[in-house]
Amino acid sequence: MKIELEKVLPAEIEKRSFEIITEELQGRVFLEDQELIIKRVIHTTADFEYADNLKFSEGAVSKAIEAIKSGACIVTDTQMAKAGINKKSLAKHGGEVYCFMSDDDVALEAKELGTTRATASMNKAARLEKDVIFAIGNAPTALVHLYELINEHKITPKLIIGVPVGFVNVVPSKELIMKTDIPYIVAKGRKGGSNVAAAICNALLYMINNER
Amino acid sequence: MKIELEKVLPAEIEKRSFEIITEELQGRVFLEDQELIIKRVIHTTADFEYADNLKFSEGAVSKAIEAIKSGACIVTDTQMAKAGINKKSLAKHGGEVYCFMSDDDVALEAKELGTTRATASMNKAARLEKDVIFAIGNAPTALVHLYELINEHKITPKLIIGVPVGFVNVVPSKELIMKTDIPYIVAKGRKGGSNVAAAICNALLYMINNER
């Protein structure tokens, strides 16, 4: 068997990938501001299910872009998502990325309250005196606690990217977020992940940069 | 619609997840040393396609475990995978995780040679005077260049985790690795990712720890 490699210049690989994704979506139409996010998530996962799974509250993308331009920070529940988000691009607008999961005070609070560290890290995020976009790629308990904090008027996120992955309470945690009046981008079902959370953040950032 | 959350203690969530994965695999039988790796990748992605996609060269898992126990380091092509790999667990055996993708000398070499940074970072890895496990979660060009370096006898990896994701040369790059006589764990097809690369590394590390 001859293995053939396609000749593509390094700088052209991403462009060619998006062309292939567009071809395979066979003319499917998305809302303009959602399209780049959906395609970037497919680019990150090679999983076309996201064309159906990703759900956006009305105006979520434009609200998120507005928040980032006004200096909103991003709080995520994994070091992997933090590593994957384009922090230079966010810093241009004054924002930074936080992940509190490895913080000693979060570990201590989780132990004392008998919760997950993800839950405790949402409490820490609620004490930030900043506009916050949440990018949750791992822990459904983070989403569940965000829902509680929102209902208790302790937090008003600018956007919730709700894409935890897994088998225990992942599906209902996303449904809870879709019941709030907070702007959201959610991957319905079990799928998601830190890579998906980072891809959505980066898609938003790249949309802002191209806009200039 | 009533949204019901399953009551699971924080410490039990992972165990419960693996039970669900096992149930849904409906008694499917895997080689014993491959089973935990396959299930951890499904746990990380909620994608059961990995039960079919993951391909192991003969004895890959035991060779990988031997290498880690002997202090092999892990070289990966993304900061996300580096962030996701359990570095404390690896350090117990003397290994550490490297990602050269953001290094200035790698950026310079890539520019000079007209290659990707992933390709240049494999050259840098080849100059490490250590046993190396490669965990490639993003760049097919890294796998293609590893194949070249192996054929030129410039490198003899202890294991190649070949799980880049995407649309341009991802499929053939994995096929190339499966043609070498280097131990491999490869996700055939387009799927994979930094999260999958990290999950496979962590599954290996957890197998070693439970063994003790």
Number of domains present in the structure of chain B: 1
CATH code of the domain covering residue A133: 3.40.50.10230
Residues of B with Cβ-Cβ distance to A186 under 8 angstroms: none
Q: Is residue A40 part of a domain?
A: no
Around Cβ B71, how many Cβ atoms within 10 Å? 14
Residue B113: inside a domain: no
CA distance B97 to chain A (A): 14
Contacts of B87 in chain A (CB under 8 A): none
Average pLDDT on A67-96 reads 97
Q: With an 8 Å Cβ cutoff, are B84 and A80 in contact?
A: yes
Q: Where are the beta strands (DSSP E) in B79-198?
A: 97-99, 132-136, 159-162, 184-187
Query: Does residue A29 form part of some domain?
Result: no
| ipTM of model | 0.95
Tell if the CB–CB gap between B165 and A46 is shorter than 8 Å: yes
Catalytic residue among A43, A93, A145, A153: A43
Tell me whether residue A69 is in a domain.
Answer: yes
Asked if B195's CB is within 8 angstroms of A193's CB, the reply is yes
A31, part of any domain: no
State the residue range of the domain holding A98.
53-211
- The pLDDT tens digits of the residues spanning A106-149 come to 999 999 999 999 999 999 999 999 999 999 999 999 999 999 99
The tokens for A82 are: 């933090």
pLDDT tens track for B54-108: 999 999 999 999 999 999 999 999 999 999 999 999 999 999 999 999 999 999 9
Domain-located, residue A95: yes
Identify whether A15 is part of a domain: no
Can you spell out the DSSP letters for A87-125?
HHHHHTTT--EEE-TT-HHHHHHHHHHT--HHHHHHHHH
Within a domain: residue A194?
yes
Nearest to B162 by CA among B53, B89, B45, B44: B53
Helix (H, G, I), strand (E, B) or coil at A133: strand
The closest alpha carbon to B161, from B207, B120, B203, B127, belongs to: B203
Is B145 one of the catalytic residues?
no
The arithmetic mean of pLDDT across residues A165-186, rounded, is 97
Q: Which of B6, B168, B195 sits opposite A8 (nearest CB)?
A: B168
Q: What is the pLDDT of residues B128-139, one digit of tens each?
A: 999 999 999 999
